[in-house]
Amino acid sequence: MLKNIPGILSPELLKALDEMGHGDTVVIGDGNFPGAGVARVGHALYLRADGHGVPELLDAILTVIPTDAYVEFPLRLMQKMDCDAELPIPIWETYKEVAARHEEGAADKFGFYERFEFYEQAKKAYCIVQTGEKSVYANVIIQKGVIA
């Protein structure tokens, strides 16, 4: 066992986060995200976090890795489709609150990818973590920064 490591981080996920280098990405997928298929196409490590939500996992991951300071948006969300334009996505505000607890100004480090571009970027991820999150548009891509 280790001290000060969030218990939600499985040994496999902790190992993956440690192995990631600067600029590598990890995807936290909601329960509807096609994680297994995307991981297979991109040869990404595919891990399950059933029973956990994205906010809790985002919080834990940001406890152990920094976001990339060399890009404008090291945290990326899936943009809503036009047919969902009026659909509120309250979990995004939760993400901003979580990120702000870990890094100054992190609430402003969220950008968006159009849905299909999000999938394309996810195929390039080092690791994809599939959660049991039920909220829609709850997927996040985190780009790892430099640990000084």
Q: Is 59 a catalytic residue?
A: no
CA atoms of 56 and 112, how far apart (whole Å): 21
Count CB neighbours of 106 within 10 A.
Answer: 20
Q: Partners of 47 in the beta sheet?
A: 129
Catalytic residue among 46, 95, 113, 119: 119
18 included as an active-site residue:
no
Answer yes or no: 102 catalytic. no
Handedness of CA 64, 69, 74, 75 (dihedral sign): positive
User: Under a CB-based contact definition with an 8 Å cutoff, are residues 66 and 13 in contact?
Assistant: no
The catalytic residue among 22, 70, 84, 108 is 22
Amino acid at position 64, single letter = V
Q: How many CB atoms lie within 10 A of CB 83?
A: 7
CB 131 within 8 A of CB 29: yes
Question: Residue 34 has which token pair?
Answer: 């096609």
Name the catalytic one among 24, 30, 59, 68: 68
Q: Which residues are catalytic?
A: 22, 68, 119
